[in-house]
């Protein structure tokens, strides 16, 4: 046992239910509001965008939700994912810590995103949807959804943020290989895209703009629905299989995490690894710390405001109560494209407000440095997003050394970086820099929110 590196589960031990944290939250979230009337949304308002089963999951208060057999069948292509003891990385850090990571990079798309792409494709298929339209930041979501839709015979159109489309051409190839269509955003295919291009023909795009394009196209096509890879409650729900597996895996060791760490874009991989541990904090008196790590260049959790805001730039999505930098906030072009989003999921926002989780921010260079250290000790090249979690692991290890305290750390390796090597090249060439967002930029961007209801 002492030299064990990987703790596996048998396929038969894979969890059969997702954990719905809404059932256990001490304070419920404020309701989403209709973008036009600013009144609480009814499930019917979402029907043009999502299949009914996902809308039900969005508002469900049931603690456990069955994973359909057909979804389990696809999950078994790569799940259960290994829990790995990072022994070489521990040795490198030389601190009194045991470090584990959940390796979500083993999925076919190389990230945690297929955990929700598969059930989303499945529920659309069950309700007769022929086509799904979505957006993608760094390309992971688009590729994950392309992987998932083909199992259920659904067509896919992806809008990819232009700056990433140019930086990461192989994500486009992956989408095409699995059968999906993909266009850079802003595009001329939608009114939203054309409007942005009119104002700024060189717009690098943003996730908010791409969402506007996808939502517009989905609403105009009666056979199509929209799909989102993060932020929403049902997305976070599907990701909880990560943490539920990890809990089963820890039960095969003598260990249990003191701190659980995940990088943070909209909240899905962080939620996936942390919510099941929050469940044990709330229901069994455990005291694990949960730490969300965002980039300094897009600091919604650490410097944003808790306020109703749109999920997109054009104001087409419902208003959600969340920590936000304002929907017009344009994050610098950092290489962790999947973390360039202005807001945080409503559940994670409420948990942060209630101090059930913590948030911190790290700079780009520190993250890449941590990623390279990890690659040179553990062998796996992490996604630029995941390196933010690894940078925080190093900080936790340093703190444990200073305090002379033993600590068990778990982090989510949300993906590998093999399709992001251009970013590593830029880092090695010394072309990357840290970006600090000024107080003024945040203040100006957040000031625009005053036209919406406050909390
Ligand atoms: C998309 C992505 C993220 C960020 O999104 P979350 O919803 O916050 O998890 C992080 N890591 C990887 C590898 C991703 O693909």
Which atom of ligand 1 is closest in space to residue 113's alpha carbon? 15
Where in the chain are the domains?
Answer: 7-15+78-110+239-447, 47-66+112-233
Q: Kind and range of the H or E element at 416?
A: none
CATH of 7-15+78-110+239-447, one of 3.30.465.10, 3.40.50.1100, 3.30.450.20, 3.40.50.2000: 3.40.50.1100
Which residue is it, tokens 């955990």? 115
Q: Which atom of ligand 1 is nearest to the CA of 271?
A: 9
Cα of 276 from ligand 1 centre, angstroms: 18
| pLDDT at res. 355 | 98
Least confident of 33-47, 177-191, 380-394: 33-47
Give me the architecture of the 47-66+112-233 domain, per CATH: 3-Layer(aba) Sandwich (3.40)
For position 1, what pLDDT does the model report? Answer: 47
Instruction: Let me know how long the chain is.
Output: 455
Distance CA 292, CA 264 (A): 6
With beta carbons less than 8 A apart as the criterion, state whether 62 and 91 touch: no
Q: Which CA distances in Å does 6 have to 83, 253, 392, 406?
A: 6, 11, 22, 21
Q: Evaluate: CB of 149 within 6 angstroms of ligand 1.
A: no
**Which of 105, 112, 412 most suits a substitution to test ligand 1, by most atoms within 8 Å of the C-beta?**
112
Residue 137 alpha carbon, nearest atom of ligand 1: 1
Cα→Cα distances 290→96, 337, 345, 357, 445, Å? 19, 23, 16, 5, 28
State mean pLDDT over 273-279: 99
Tell whether ligand 1 has an atom less than 6 A from the beta carbon of residue 414.
yes
Nearest in space to 364 (alpha carbons), one of 292, 433, 315, 270: 433
Q: Which residue's CA is the nearest one to ligand 1's atom 4?
A: 265
Is residue 14's pLDDT more than 80? yes
Confidence of residue 332 (pLDDT cuts 50, 70, 90): confident
Q: Is the CB of 120 under 6 A from ligand 1?
A: no
Return phi, psi of residue 411, to 5°. -130, 160
Average pLDDT score over residue span 273-300: 97
Q: Assess whether the C-beta atom of 412 lies below 6 angstroms from ligand 1.
A: no
pLDDT at 454: 60
Check pocket membership of 263 for ligand 1, CB cut-off 6 A. yes
For residue 152, the CA-to-ligand 1 centroid distance in Å is 24
Local confidence band at 317 (pLDDT 50, 70, 90 cut-offs)? confident
Q: What is the pLDDT of residue 163?
A: 87
230 CA distance to ligand 1 middle (Å)? 8
Q: Give the pairing of strands 407-413 and 97-103.
A: parallel
Backbone angles phi, psi at 12, to 5 degrees: -70, -15
In order, the DSSP letters of 189-235 are SSHHHHHHHHH-TT----HHHHHHHHHHHHHH-TTEEEE-SSSSHHH
Contact in structure between 84 and 394 (CB atoms under 8 Å) = no
- What torsion do the CA atoms of 196, 202, 208, 213 make, to the nearest 10 degrees? 50
Ligand 1 closest atom vs CA 140 = 15
Query: Helix 52-59 vs helix 114-126: angle between axes, to the nearest 10 degrees?
Result: 130
Please give the distance, rounded to the nearest whole angstrom, from the Cα atom of residue 263 to the centre of ligand 1: 7
Beta carbon of 232 within 6 Å of any ligand 1 atom? no
Which atom number of ligand 1 is nearest to the Cα of residue 272? 9
Same fold: 7-15+78-110+239-447 with 47-66+112-233: yes
Stretch 307-323: mean pLDDT, rounded? Answer: 89
Percent share of the chain, pLDDT over 90:
88
Cα(112)–Cα(268) distance, integer angstroms: 9
Is residue 365 within 8 A of residue 428, CB to CB? The reply is: no
Instruction: Kindly list the distances between the CA atom of residue 200 and the CA atoms of 186, 196, 214, 407, in Å, as whole numbers in the listed order.
Output: 10, 6, 19, 50
pLDDT band at 157 (very low <50, low <70, confident <90, very high): very high
* 102 vs 4 pLDDT, higher one: 102
* pLDDT for position 194: 97
CA of residue 287 to ligand 1 center, whole Å: 26
Per-residue pLDDT, 315: 83
The reply to whether ligand 1 has any atom less than 6 angstroms from the CB of 243 is: no
Is 266 touching ligand 1 by the criterion CB < 6 Å? yes
DSSP letter at 338 equals G
**Does the CB atom of residue 265 touch ligand 1 within 6 A?**
yes
Average pLDDT over residues 396-413: 98
Does the beta carbon of 230 sit less than 6 angstroms from any atom of ligand 1? yes
Tell me which residue of 246, 256, 261, 242 sits closest to 284, measured CA to CA.
Answer: 256
Of the given ranges (35-44, 178-187, 383-392), which has the lowest mean pLDDT?
35-44
Q: Does 338 contact ligand 1 (Cβ within 6 A)?
A: yes
- Tokens for 275, please give them: 């919510």
Ligand 1 neighbour 386 (Cβ under 6 A): yes
Residue 455 has pLDDT above 70, yes or no: no
Q: What is the DSSP letter of 21?
A: G
**pTM for the structure as a whole:** 0.96
pLDDT above 70 as % of the chain: 98
Looking at the predicted structure, is the pLDDT value of residue 262 above 70? yes
Give the model confidence (pLDDT) of 195-238 as tens digits.
999 999 999 998 888 989 999 999 999 999 999 999 999 999 99
Residue of 268, 270, 352 to mutate, ligand 1, most atoms within 8 A of C-beta: 268
Closest residue by Cα to residue 269 from 28, 81, 424: 81
Of ligand 1's atoms, which has the minimum distance to the CA of residue 339?
Answer: 4
Q: Whose CA is nearest to atom 14 of ligand 1?
A: 338
């Amino acid at each position: 046992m002492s030299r064990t590196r990987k703790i596996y589960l048998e396929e038969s031990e894979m969890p059969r239910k997702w954990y719905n944290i809404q059932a256990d939250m001490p304070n419920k979230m404020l309701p989403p509001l209709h973008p036009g009337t600013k009144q609480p949304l009814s499930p019917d308002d979402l029907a043009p965008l999502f299949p009914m089963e996902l809308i039900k999951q969005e508002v469900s208060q049931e603690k456990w939700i069955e994973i359909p057999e057909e979804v389990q069948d696809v999950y078994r292509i790569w799940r259960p994912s290994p829990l790995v003891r990072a022994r070489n990385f521990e040795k490198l850090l030389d601190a009194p810590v045991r470090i584990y990571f959940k390796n979500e990079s083993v999925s076919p798309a190389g990230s945690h995103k297929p955990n929700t792409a598969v059930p989303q494709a499945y529920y659309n298929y069950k309700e007769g949807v022929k086509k799904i339209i979505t957006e993608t930041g760094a390309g992971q979501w688009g590729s994950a959804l392309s992987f998932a839709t083909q199992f259920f015979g659904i067509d896919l159109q992806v809008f990819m943020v232009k700056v990433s489309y140019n930086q990461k051409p192989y994500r486009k190839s992956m989408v095409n290989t699995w059968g999906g269509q993909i266009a850079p955003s802003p595009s001329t295919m939608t009114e939203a895209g054309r409007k942005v291009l009119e104002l700024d023909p060189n717009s690098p795009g943003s996730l908010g703009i791409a969402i506007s394009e996808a939502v517009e196209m989905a609403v105009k096509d009666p056979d199509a629905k929209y799909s989102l890879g993060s932020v929403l409650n049902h997305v976070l729900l599907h990701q909880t299989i990560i943490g539920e597996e990890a809990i089963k895996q820890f039960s095969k060791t003598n260990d249990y995490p003191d701190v659980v760490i995940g990088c943070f874009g909209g909240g899905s991989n962080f939620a996936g690894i942390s919510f099941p541990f929050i469940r044990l904090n709330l229901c069994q008196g455990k005291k694990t710390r949960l730490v969300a790590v965002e980039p300094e260049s897009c600091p919604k959790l650490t410097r944003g405001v808790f306020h109703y805001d749109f999920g997109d730039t054009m104001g087409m999505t419902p208003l959600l109560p969340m920590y936000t930098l304002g929907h017009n906030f344009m994050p610098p072009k950092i290489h962790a494209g999947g973390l360039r989003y202005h807001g945080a999921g409503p559940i994670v926002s409420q948990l942060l407000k209630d101090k059930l989780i913590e948030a911190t921010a790290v700079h780009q260079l520190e993250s890449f440095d941590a990623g390279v250290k990890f690659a040179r000790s553990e062998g796996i090249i992490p996604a630029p997003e995941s390196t933010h979690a690894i940078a925080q692991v190093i900080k936790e290890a340093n703190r444990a050394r200073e305090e002379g305290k033993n600590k068990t750390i778990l982090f989510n390796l949300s993906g590998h970086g093999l399709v992001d090597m251009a970013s590593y090249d830029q880092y090695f060439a010394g072309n990357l820099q840290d970006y600090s967002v000024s107080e003024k930029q945040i203040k100006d961007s957040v000031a625009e929110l005053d036209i919406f209801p406050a909390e």
